[in-house]
Structure 1
């Protein structure tokens, strides 16, 4: 069975986790800070806050930016539901911006058009969440410029994108956003099992993120409202959550980070080989913007359905029948029943909906062999009736 994504675990990874299991700190120990520093060093961000998963990171990022009732968060409909649910957790309202038909990311032109109308209606967003789908960064310079003009904050949902680059710089450095979020789920570029991280260049935001991940509790005298009463003393100064990462997860992350550059390069090699194998098929292959260096979390092909006799579902099911566990990223969020109850409907974001009707994520992970790539290509050709 060939999965669309899977983790790569080495003996070094296992040894790192076992070392923590034999230590005195299974949680809230030194491995957390070590992992945070590794990711901060790689990206160039000044602060990194490790959490239990990327959804938790999105949630506390919204709270740190003081998103709440009466506020709006805008994101792309072409994402996992966590990118918009994070606003609802805070009592805010959600809207979407349609995608660029080439990158499949939030379109800056559609964003600007929507902002112009929202300004007239006095409904500008407080936060915009661009999502770096498949690992290719959004046009962050354009989105940042609009943020400066219209006054919204930016959270980069880079769950797919650690190890990628934008304009020659690492994704996560915070040049064009207030907070960046990474995911370390097993199918992502590196893994901690479950896990996430929020990065920022703001000391104030980092402090707030740190409080929110651990019940809003601090032992830092500088953050307390009254003097320390003894070495046992702590204060809850905010309403936070238990979104902590364990030291076992962090140790795995530290070990995985040593191979991040190699992982991304291998994914580029696989993407290049796919592009060769699939070049003559009626498919739209991933397009890469000249300013981006994708992390290639996913390799998405779009079926040119007017040129084949099979349907989208028939191609998908034929691949799965050959034990190729393809997937579809994503069902547009606004078409989910929960969001349709809010008033969203089919036809609201036509580019995202058209993408959904054609897209298939074929296998992309570092342990794919050349034989498997050839097999996937052959099966895709057959599934399309060619």
Structure 2
């Protein structure tokens, strides 16, 4: 089976992890701070806080922005459930803004209308979480212009988008948002095995996230009473979580981060090959903004809606590991119980009926990519 995505681990990655295994610290050593510094430099952000998953990073981002019961958080319906669950963990209500089916990202006019209506109804969100679908940045300058007059804070869910850029600056730099979140799951741009991070230019938000990452416990001399007399002392200042990243994960992340440019070049080359192959066919690729360069986490294509399920089935029979990203979050049973009806975001529904994620990763050979192209076009043309 040709996977739709997979990790790319080489001998340098293995050696980096092995060195930590032979060291004195498997966790809470020097590797996590080193990874955080390298990541912050890479995306031109002031602070990076590494955690054990992208979901943990989203949760801490909401908590750092004081999301809680009675608050509202808006996000995209076309994403993994964590983009909405993070707000529910905080006791907040979640709502969804429809997408632009050309890109899979938030629909700007839909957002503008929803904000105006919510302002009249007195139910504005505290936080908006735009999702950079498939690796391409949302149009963040416009999103910030729309939400800033209402005092809405922004968390960029860039789980797909490490290495992407927007307006010639790296996604994660915080130019138009309060916090950016990355994921380091094995199918993402780089992997820590599991892992995530939140990036911010606010020292206050960073301090809050760091405290909550580790049980709410600190040994900071500026915050702990009587530390000179009791040097073993630590204090819990908040109800935090065990969201720490291990040094094993961070060592792998550091090694992978050094290879990010090579990963990006290979993904972009393969994406261009797909784009050329599907020009003038019933298979369409996502529209790319002129001011953005995608990290190409996913190769998301659209096929005629009525045949998607059969195309999926036939490609799987051919040994091609296609996938679908995503069932709109509000159609998940948990969110249906909260009262979201089918068809709540019509553009997202239409997108879901046509979307197919085909293999795209650095280990995809030219011959395997040629097979994916040939079989996909063969099945689509046979069914239309």
TM-score class normalised by the smaller sequence: over 0.9
Aligned equivalents of 1:300, 1:207: Cα separation in 2: 37
**SS of match in other structure, 1:384:** helix
Verify: 1:247 aligned to 2:247, yes or no: yes
Distance 1:358 1:147 in 2: 30
Distance 1:380 1:111 in 2: 34
Q: Tell me if structure 2 keeps the 8 A contact 1:284–1:304.
A: no
SS of residue matched to 1:377: helix
Q: Is 1:365 the counterpart of 2:361 in the alignment? A: yes
Between the aligned partners of 1:146 and 1:222, the Cα distance in structure 2 is 39
Confirm or deny: 8 A CA contact 1:105 1:133 kept in the other structure. yes
Matched length: 381
| Aligned residue in 2 for 1:328 | 324
Structure 2 counterpart of 1:311: 307
- Structure 2: distance between partners of 1:179 and 1:243: 17
Matches of 1:242 and 1:121, distance apart in 2? 38
**Higher deviation after alignment, 270-279 or 235-244:** 270-279
Shift of residue 197 of structure 1? Answer: 0.3
Answer yes or no: is the 8 Å Cα contact 2:74–2:94 preserved in 1: yes
Distance 1:325 1:331 in 2: 18
Q: Deviations over 1:144-172 (max 9, x none)?
A: 11232010110000000000000010000
Moved more, 161-170 or 106-115: 106-115
Structure 1 outlier segments of 4+, above 4 Å: none
Matched, 1:346 2:342: yes
Cα distance in 2 for residues equivalent to 1:169 and 1:126 = 26
TM-score, normalising length from structure 2?
Answer: 0.98
In the aligned structure 2, how far is the partner of 1:34 from the partner of 1:4? Answer: 31
Q: Does 1:227 align with 2:226?
A: yes
Map of 1:355 onto structure 2: 351
Matches within 5 A, 1:104-253: 104-224=104-224, 226-228=225-227, 229-253=229-253
The 1-side partners of 2:175 and 2:66 are apart by: 21
**Counterparts of 1:177 and 1:43, CA distance in 2:** 13
SS of the residue aligned with 1:289? coil
1:3 is paired with a residue of what secondary structure?
A: coil
Q: CA deviation at 1:385?
A: 4.0
Corresponding residue for 1:9? 9
- Following superposition, the deviation at residue 278 of structure 1 comes to 2.1
* 1:54-84 CA-partner distances (Å, limit 9, x unpaired): 0000001100100000000000101110000
Q: Over residues 285-316 of structure 1, what are the superposed CA-to-partner deviations in whole Å (9 max), with x where a residue is unaligned?
A: 121001110000001110134xxxx7211000
Cα distance in 2 for residues equivalent to 1:183 and 1:6: 14
Q: Taking structure 1 as the reference length, what is the TM-score of the superposition?
A: 0.97
**Counterpart-to-counterpart distance in 1, 2:204 and 2:120:** 32
Q: CA deviation at 1:279?
A: 2.0
Checking the alignment, whether the CA contact within 8 Å between 2:328 and 2:348 is kept in structure 1 is: yes
SS at match of 1:142: helix
Gapped regions of structure 2 (runs ≥ 5): none
Decide which moves more: 67-76 or 146-155: 146-155
Superposition CA RMSD, Å: 1.0
Alignment check: 8 A CA contact 1:61 1:209 kept:
yes
Query: Is 1:91 paired with 2:91?
Result: yes
Structure-1 separation of matches of 2:166 and 2:362 = 22
Look up the SS of the partner of 1:181 in the other structure.
Answer: strand
